[in-house]
Amino acid sequence: MRSSSYPVLPLRTLRAVVVFALTAGLATAVPAAQAKTPAPRETTATPVAAKPYMGWSSWSMQSSKYPGLNPDGDYSYLTEANVLKQTDALAAKLKNYGYDHVNIDAGWWMDKTWKTGFDQYGRQTPDPVRFPHGMKSVADHIHSKGLKAGIYLPVGLEKGAYGDGKTPIWNAPGCTTADAVYSDLRTTNGWDNAYKLNFDNPCAQKYIDSQAQQFADWGYDFFKLDGVGPGSFKSGDNYNNVPDVAAWQKAISDTGRPIHLEISWSLDIGHAADWKKYSNGWRIDTDVECYCNTLVTWENSVNDRWDDAPAWSRKAGPGGWNDLDSLDVGNGEMDGLTKAERQSYMTLWAINKSPLFTGDDLTKLDSYGVSLLTNKEVIAVDQNDSPVARPVTPVGNQQVWGTKNADGSYTVALFNLGDSPASVTAQWASLGFTGNASVRDLWNKANLGTYKNKITEALPAHGSRLFTVKPGGSSLTTTSYEAEDAANTLSGNASVAGCDACSGGKKVGNLYTGGKLRFNDVTVKKDGIYTVKVAYVSGDSRSVTVFSNSGNGTSEKFPSTGDWSTAETVSVQLALKAGSNTITFDSGSGYAPDIDKIVVPQSV
């Protein structure tokens, strides 16, 4: 599935917007579709989206200018022949590892000039040149390989489907396209190429029902709804498509066919509860593709995910997953990444339990790409029942992410996001235990032995390691210090505020432009470097300078907790002396996160 795939690069190019402006309303005449009876209800042993889906999607190759991919013009890669070729390659090379979705992205109902085609009921119909045998035939071939078929549409009623407003809606006597939309023909979606549906009129739901039933009749198992707002770089009433997503969920349910509903792109986290209620997955970010002469680049938006993913970490779970977008790590030169970047890319996707769907040419996977995409231990991290990982350290160039597994072990990832080699250390104390732990290297499929208190690895630029860590020591003995304690010193704007998610129901906020919080009388038994866990609340990623006693302090960037009513933790390293200490959080000239409490080990 693609992101803002329709076919446009949000904020990076307006070319496709111009294409759509020129082609809006130019519908290709097609033979009238015959009304069909509803598809028979099917049963499935596994609920939809019980785990993040895996597979292949067409958009990455459609959007690239890599030589030979789109010889007949921009986005021309999408054809029946190419989809079937990738289907066969997926079945042969990756199906046994869990990759079982083939997703057809934007363009299947458009010719190679992006002129759109609709049937007599205003429903998208396949372009006869791109898909000469129709979409059902393609789905049938995908199913014959034991795979699932996916398809795509933008949200709203496309301008070309409107006609003169008198186009009848299938299976809805008396309803026309004019009845389904607002009379002022206000536009919606990330490209404004569709009219906003007016769900105060039942005809709007009927239109969605007709599209969903067509997909069910064709045999599709997955549907991506794109350009959804709030999000897709649009806001305001015209771009609130929550009712559309709810309508699609209802329409899909009414077909009786278990169809996964994925929504895109760069969705508003303020509506995360709606996305989870009405869909099975949601894009958390803009396109990963670079729209250049490779599929992606590190700097384009692959590396953005380390900043953007933490806010969504608590939103995902069985039935609905955070979608980080296409995983293009299999083609080497065409991917546009170093080997280290390719491994880090897949590591982040796996620990976030993102859908693992590649946009690579599966007929040309290189050996390293195959080793990444088929590593069963890494795939298991994505597919197991553990919570989504989060950073356990501040999010600078060197980061540690982790999550606790059901068996008491931890999944731990080390990342060096810097442009030069660096060492990264995971302290066991940041995970909540001390002493020895056995470590398994998942990428190299090797047991590394026992490590005491920490593991340190030298990583290349943009490099990573991924471990399973099994504690053999003991839980940490700690002392908690509440931010709102009267013994602390607050200065500047800093003040105590209520916080339902916080320990003791309170926190210290208003840490901005010089606001400070100083914890007094933090007591330890001996001198040393302590791993101090900080519980905090921050609706966006914010930095704060942290120091102990009279130290100079270090500016630390804390990842977003997703909103201002959720508390999370990260750990910082501080030098403490035997006896009483102070620990200070200084906002400096900026805005710092709100602080709930600190948790200090009683000994190093």
As beta bridge partners, residue 585 has: 517, 546
Query: In which band, very low, low, confident or very high, does the pLDDT at 12 lie, cut at 50, 70 and 90?
Result: very low
Q: Is pLDDT above 70 for 296?
A: yes
Q: Which residue has the tokens 């006597």?
A: 173
Instruction: Kindly state the helix (H) or strand (E) to which residue 153 belongs, with its residue range.
Output: strand 148-154
pLDDT in tens, 361-392: 999 999 999 999 999 999 999 999 999 999 99
Q: Is the pTM of this model over 0.85?
A: yes
Question: CA-CA distances (angstroms) from residue 57 to 95, 116, 191, 271, 500?
Answer: 14, 21, 21, 26, 42
Cβ contact 328:60 at 8 Å: yes
How many angstroms separate the most distant Cα atoms in the chain? 85
* CA–CA gap between residue 360 and residue 146 (Å, rounded): 20
pLDDT of residue 474: 87
Residue-wise pLDDT for 96-152, tens only, equals 999 999 999 999 999 999 999 999 999 999 999 999 999 999 999 999 999 999 999
Compute the distance between CA of residue 241 and CA of residue 2 in angstroms, rounded to an integer. 18
pLDDT tier, 5 (very low <50, low <70, confident <90, very high otherwise): low
The encoded tokens of residue 217 equal 């009749």
Q: Is the peptide bond before 230 cis (omega within 30 degrees of 0)?
A: yes
- Is-contact 264 5, C-beta < 8 A? yes
- Which residue type does 207 have? Y
First to last CA, the chain: 48
Position 27 scores a pLDDT of 41
The mean predicted confidence, pLDDT, of the chain is 93
Query: What is the chain's Cα-based Rg?
Result: 26
Strands (E) located in 233-325: 260-263, 281-283, 321-323
Residue 45: pLDDT band with limits 50, 70, 90? low
pLDDT tens readout for residues 520-532: 999 999 999 999 9
> Alpha-carbon distance 239 to 225, whole Å?
14
**394-446 tens-digit pLDDT:** 999 999 999 999 999 999 999 999 999 999 999 999 999 999 999 999 999 99
Cα–Cα dist 482/600, whole Å: 11
Band (pLDDT 50/70/90 cuts) for residue 29 is very low
- Cβ atoms of residues 533 and 391 within 8 Å: no
Residue-wise pLDDT for 311-351, tens only, equals 999 999 999 999 999 999 999 999 999 999 999 999 999 99
Structure tokens at 52: 């993040």
pLDDT-derived band of residue 46, with 50, 70 and 90 as boundaries? Answer: confident
**Burial classification of residue 101, based on how many CB atoms lie within 10 Å of its CB (0-12 exposed, 13-18 middle, 19 or more buried):** buried
**Residues 6 or more apart whose Cβ sits within 8 Å of residue 102:** 55, 56, 83, 86, 87, 90, 142, 147, 148, 149, 150
Phi, psi of 364 (to 5 degrees): -130, 35
474-532 per-position pLDDT tens digit: 899 999 999 999 999 999 999 999 999 999 999 999 999 999 999 999 999 999 999 99
DSSP string across 534-601: EEEE-SS-EEEEEEETT---EEEEEPP-SSTT--EEEEEEEEE-SEEEEEEEE-TTSB--EEEEEEEE
Three-class SS of 170-190: CCCCCCEHHHHECCCCCEECC
Is residue 21's pLDDT more than 90? no
182-237 pLDDT tens trace: 999 999 999 999 999 999 999 999 999 999 999 999 999 999 999 999 999 999 99
pLDDT, mean of residues 80-104: 98
pLDDT, tens only, 544-598: 999 999 988 999 999 999 999 999 999 999 999 999 999 999 999 999 999 999 9
